Each structure stands twice: as C-alpha cells, then as structure tokens.
Amino acid sequence: MSGLSASKSPFLRHGAEQPVAWLPWGDAAFERARAEGRPVLLDIGAVWCHWCHVMDRESYEDPETAALINELYVPVKVDRDERPDVDARYQRAVQAISGQGGWPLTAFLTPAGEVFHGGTYFPPEDAHGRPSFRRVLREVARVWTEERERAERAAGAVGERLAETLTAEAAPGDLDPSLLDHAVEALAEAFDFRHGGFGRAPKFPNPGGLELMLETWRESEETDWARRVVEESLLAMARGGLRDHLGGGFHRYATDARWLIPHFEKMAADNGPLLALCARAAVALESAELADAAAGVVAYYRDVATDLVDAGGFPASQDADIGFDDDGDHWTWTEAEVRAALDDDTAEAAILYWGLRDTASAMHLDPRRHVLYRALSVEDVARRMERDPDAVRAALERARETLKRVRDERPRPYVDETLYAGWVGLVASGHVAAARHIELRDAGRAARAAMERVWSEGWEEGRGLVHRLGDPASGVFLGDQAYCAEACLDLHEYTGDERWLDRAGRIAAVMRERFPHESGALRDLPADADTSVPVLGQPRLDITDSPEPAANAVAALVLARLGALLEDDGARRASRDILRAFAGSAPRFAPNAATYFRALRWAVRPVTTVVVIEAGPDRADAPAPGSLRAAALATYRPTTVVRCFQPGAVDADRLPEAVREMLSGEAPRAYVCAGRTCAAPVSRPAELIALLRDFRG
C-alpha cells in the first residue's frame, strides 16, 4: 500500500493509485533504506507534467515494473511544486551525471540521500538510444549490491559537484554600472531578429529579460533598438500559439522558433510575470494588442477558477492534456471541427485568421490538428474574402466565442487549485499591474483578495509565510517570501493602504533574519531548517530565473523599493549586499539572470519618487479616473516608487522628513524627484504624465 493516499498534493495522490509502494519524502523513507540496506528510487514530477504522466502509465502503473521496484528499492515520490528545495538540489545532482535535467526526474540515491545514478524519462523498452527502465532498475540494483564502493564513490563525486553548483552563481564583486550594460548587450546578442524572443528552439518567454529591455528603452531615447526587442518579442508571443487565443493566458513554452507549437501546460510562474510585463508594455508602447493579451490572462484565471478567484487565490497550474495518448487535443482544432461549429463565411474567416492551413502549426502526431495562432491580420483576411474589415472583425469575435464554447464541452485538462504562497504572489503582482496600467479594476480586487488570503492563512509571525496556505508543515522558502513581499509593495502603491507596506516590511525582516548567508546573499531555506537529509543542509544561492524570477533578485528588488519608499538606508544596504554577493559571477549568467540586473538598476541608477497629495475615495479602491493618482499609477517609468496620501488622513510623524514637507503644501499636488533632483510640483494629471515621461533629474 502506498504511503501517499493522504497527501495534499494531487500528483502524489495519483501516485497512491499505482502498484509501486511509494513513500513520501522524509526521514521514514531514508531510515527504512538504511535498515534494509537498499537504495532509494526518487521520482520527482508534477501534476502538469506530460512526460511524468507518460512514465507513470508506461512504468509505474505496470505491475511487472512496480514489483521490480518494490523488491529492489525504497521508492520515494516528490511533487516538485510542493518541494522546490528537494527538486532544485536533485536536478543539479542528476545534471552532474547525465548533463540534463527536467521532469520526470529519476534519481537513484544511497540511504543517506546522495545520488549515484540518475536521468529523466526512461522508456519501457529500449528505444531511441535510451535503455529500458526495467533494464536500468536491474543494473543499478546490481551495482549497489555487487559494487557498493563504486556506487559510493560516484555518490561522493556527485555530492562534491553538487556543493559547488549550488553556490556557483554567487561570487562577490563591485556594483559597477557596466554590469548592467553588459547584461543588456548579452540579451541583444541573444535576440532572435527573425521570430522574436531569445535564443533558438525550444523558446521560453523570459519575461525578466524583456522587462530589462523595456526599462533600458524607457531610460534612454538612444536605445530604440531595445524597444524593437520588446515589441517584436511580445507581439510574436501574443500572436503565436504560445498564447491561448480562445481562453486567454500563455502556455509554458514553444517547441519551435516561431512560437507556434507550445507545451500546453499553463503555469502561474509564467503567467504572473507575463501579465505584469504585457500590462506595462501595453502602456509604454501604446499597444492595444498587448493590452488585449494582458486582459486575456486576467480572464483566463477567472474562467478556470471562478470560485477560487472570488474567495482569494489563483491556481498553481493547468495540465497540458487529458490522458496518456492526448497530444494537445483540448487546445487544437481540425478544419472540419471549425466548419462544424461555424457557418461557412465565419468558418473561412477563422481558418484564415488562425492559420488552420499552415503546416507549421500542425501537431506532429495528428497533422490534421492545428494550434490556433494569428496567421493574418483582419485586413488581410478581409482582402482575401473580399469583405469589409469591420464585418470580418465582428465575425471573428463571434467565432472566438463559439469555438470557446465548443471547446468548453471537451474534457478539460486538470486545474490544480493548490495555493502556493509565492505563485499566488506572482499572479497577484500581475493583476495589480493590469489594474494599474490598463485599468482592469476587477484585477485589482482579485489581487487584494488573494493577498489577504495569503496573509491570513500563510503568515506566521517571526517564521514567515508557509509554502502552502493553511499548511504550517509545508515549509518556509525564500521564494514565497520574496514574491509575496513584492506583491504587497505593488498593492501598497496601487491602493495607498499602509497595511501592505507594513506587511512587506515584516516579510523583508524575516528574509533578512532567517535566510542570511555569510556572502550577503540569501539562502533558499532558513538557516535553521531541518536538514536531517544532508543534501538539504547545503545552501543554494541563485540569481537565474528558471522560470520564476530568482528569489535573491526579487528580494534585492523588494529591499531597494522599501528603502526608497521609507528612506530606509538599512534596507538599501541589505539590497546592495545581495547584489554584491553575485556581482562577480553575474555576467556569466546574464541572459538568464535578468531579474538580478533589474534589481541592480536600483543600485546604479537614480530612483524616481512620486508623491501624490490628493483627496479621493477609499484608498482600497481603484484610483478615480482623471485623478493625479490615476496618472501616477498608469504612467510607465522604471525604477520608480509611488506614494499617495489624502490631506489630513495620515500620521505624518511616521513618514520620511522629505515627504512630511510635501504634506504641508497645497492639494491636489504631485511631486516628482529623480535621484536628488526634484521638479516643481504640479496639479494637473497631464502635467504629471509629462514629468514622468520626460523629467530626467
């Protein structure tokens, strides 16, 4: 009988139905391995992972393979969403052996938890140069039994390499502005001038890299090429198959250079940052198309998890498919299916617009099925059909609604409504950006409800935010603290509510007190965390975004913003300490560490402070249209903090001296200071917008 049946993880509960005698990660499994002298078979996967489902069906649900595992190993199954600390370490360990990682991760451990062999997916039969899983199981067990010293030497070598790689991203250095220039150049060199994005297939969105380029363009009129990088990349993603053109939101990544064929899972770690980026880019680039893409992400969450969003929270992920033989069937269409759903003229417009005759958008296993993408503009479709563009536009909107309704009747891939604090924070930050920049008020309300729930069900004073809301035993990780602190700061700026600023400060205090490393960086686990399995005692220091923004980088951003909002030199120093801990190695990781360089900008460039003094409605609500506050929040300007006050409604003694002086003036007034230089106060929104666009200080 599996030990996973009572798990809170849907991935592990599914494992409980398999004939493998799985145990959850923990002391009991390793104590049993030591007592019986058997190695541990570690399987790490996730509910959204297609190849995890494949290996489950082919191997772990096969009675013969399960019997072999139960005879030779102590089997342990881990949900990578539930235990990012375990996953991060064993990914690196297996990469040291095989040169690659990913999910499912298959590792063979000593009873002390050290890796001596591993890989990812293993087929049930010898195929494509990969040995069958049963052959691997027998051979690894033979080596453990007959050549124990060889296995232990391999484990020792992997352990040494692991200790090096866990801290390899940290090397001290000076905070030189040239580091920022180097990172921007590295991203420019990686830019795909033909299809947008960075690098070759498979293509990942890299929202941090595009945020950095957007900031670079907005900072200097001499970097119009940076605008091209951002605009062409985002439009390619928004028009391609990476975006769900019927239901909104973005899939995880594209398998091809043109962004046409995605891996269909949808992840909070991707959609939160992409939502924030699209909202900011929409206003900065004056792009209705990007505003529509951002609105689609907000609509997606409300569509697939209406009750959860209303109660407070956002789902962790949506699976890519329904079952073992499914190859994106929920998301893709044949021309015949489109024609069956729509009248002839509307169907023809939809087929042309969404590229159902393009072989490049056809699925590999069933070329009749196509991923929808924007193949032609409305005007091009109208010319081909000899129709009026407005009529075609209306027909396409009807087609989208009808096809979405038909798709909703298909079996829907599983939506995991587990509330992981950090991922809720990432999506909440995206929703705040949508409310702030493209005036989606419902998005702001959803963000507030989500973060109120994070605070009420996740915060433990002095300990921090627990990983899974309502579950104190789920652990305390740096990423959850950093992402939620950032969301609290976003809500403070949007609402003007001082409670969010206070909460961000309390989370930041926990990060500094519980996660410090002697280098100045922050560890991924608290310094006093339980490390009964020795591998967890090795600190991990990271600045690469993979795909979540690096926790150290976000922590540095949070501390820099707190320093600017509160005139807190201690927070500024803590931010710089983190940045210095990685400055020596950061150039090596530049294209994949963009969030670090975004944080670095706060240390090497002037910070802009905007203070708005204006009477208005309840600060928990959206800003009044046409107000100074609305103008301050909607206008895009990087490395900027915004504080909004109502005259006579704030305890001035708690504020920095410079802000107290502003409160003594007339209202409505807005003050803009860039670095140590301040512009004359303004009283009209148009004047404030012009200042935020043009004032350099």
Tens of pLDDT along 142-200?
Answer: 999 999 999 999 999 999 999 999 999 999 999 999 999 999 999 999 999 999 999 99
Helix (H) or strand (E) holding 263: strand 262-263
pLDDT in tens, 438-490: 999 999 999 999 999 999 999 999 999 999 999 999 999 999 999 999 999 99
pLDDT in tens, 604-619: 999 999 999 998 765 5
Lowest-pLDDT range of 585-589, 622-626, 661-665: 661-665
Omega before 681 cis (within 30°)? Answer: no
Q: How many CB atoms lie under 10 A from the CB of residue 75?
A: 23
Cα(354)–Cα(49) distance, integer angstroms: 27
Mean of pLDDT values over 395-414: 97
544: nearest Cα among 467, 581, 508, 597: 597
Cα(692)–Cα(628) distance, integer angstroms: 12
Confidence band for 67, pLDDT divided at 50, 70 and 90: very high
Confidence band for 579, pLDDT divided at 50, 70 and 90: very high
- Could you give the count of Cα atoms lying within 13 Å of 645 in the half-sphere of its Cβ? 25
pLDDT in tens, 524-538: 999 988 888 889 999
pLDDT in tens, 364-373: 999 999 999 9
pLDDT in tens, 342-355: 999 999 999 999 99
pLDDT at residue 687 in the model: 96
Q: Which long-range contacts (CB under 8 A, 24 or more apart) does 461-464 make?
A: 461/506, 462/510, 463/510, 463/514, 464/507, 464/510, 464/511, 464/514, 464/526
Cα(60)–Cα(80) distance, integer angstroms: 18
Q: To 10 degrees, the CA torsion angle through 116, 122, 125, 130?
A: -80
Question: E strands of 455-546, at which residues?
Answer: 459-460, 464-465
pLDDT > 90? residue 322? no
**Percentage of residues of the chain with pLDDT beyond 90:** 88
Tokens of 8: 């809170």
Cα(696)–Cα(219) distance, integer angstroms: 9
pLDDT at residue 408 in the model: 97
Confidence band for 653, pLDDT divided at 50, 70 and 90: low
What DSSP state is assigned to residue 416?
Answer: E
User: HEC states along 520-576?
Assistant: CCECCCCCCCCCCCHHHHCCCCCCCCCCCCCHHHHHHHHHHHHHHHHCCHHHHHHHH
The radius of gyration of the chain from alpha carbons, rounded to an integer in Å, stands at: 26
Cα(147)–Cα(246) distance, integer angstroms: 56
Strands 415-416 and 317-318: antiparallel
Torsion-angle region of residue 636: left (phi > 0), alpha (psi -120 to 50) or beta?
beta
3-state class (DSSP) for residue 77: strand
Cα(160)–Cα(149) distance, integer angstroms: 16
pLDDT at residue 299 in the model: 98
3-state class (DSSP) for residue 644: strand
Cα(27)–Cα(87) distance, integer angstroms: 17
Mean of pLDDT values over 489-500: 95
Cα(576)–Cα(571) distance, integer angstroms: 9
Cα(83)–Cα(105) distance, integer angstroms: 13
pLDDT at residue 655 in the model: 64
pLDDT at residue 327 in the model: 81
Q: Which residue ranges form the domains of the chain, and what is each CATH number? A: 10-166 (3.40.30.10), 331-410 (1.10.10), 606-697 (3.40.30)
Q: Give just the sign of the alpha carbon dihedral 674, 680, 684, 687.
A: negative
Helix (H) or strand (E) holding 43: strand 40-45
pLDDT at residue 3 in the model: 82
pLDDT at residue 493 in the model: 96
Confidence band for 126, pLDDT divided at 50, 70 and 90: confident
Mean of pLDDT values over 389-418: 97
Q: Report in angstroms the alpha-carbon separations of 232 from 2, 239, 377.
A: 50, 10, 15
pLDDT at residue 325 in the model: 76
Mean of pLDDT values over 615-631: 81
Confidence band for 223, pLDDT divided at 50, 70 and 90: confident
pLDDT at residue 323 in the model: 78
> Average pLDDT of the chain?
94
pLDDT at residue 654 in the model: 63
**Percentage of residues of the chain with pLDDT beyond 70:** 97
Q: 63, 98 in Cβ contact below 8 A?
A: no
Strand partners, 78: 44
pLDDT > 70? residue 650? no
Q: Report in angstroms the alpha-carbon separations of 373 from 82, 200, 335, 387, 389.
A: 33, 19, 14, 21, 19
pTM for the full model?
0.96
294: nearest Cα among 451, 489, 440: 440
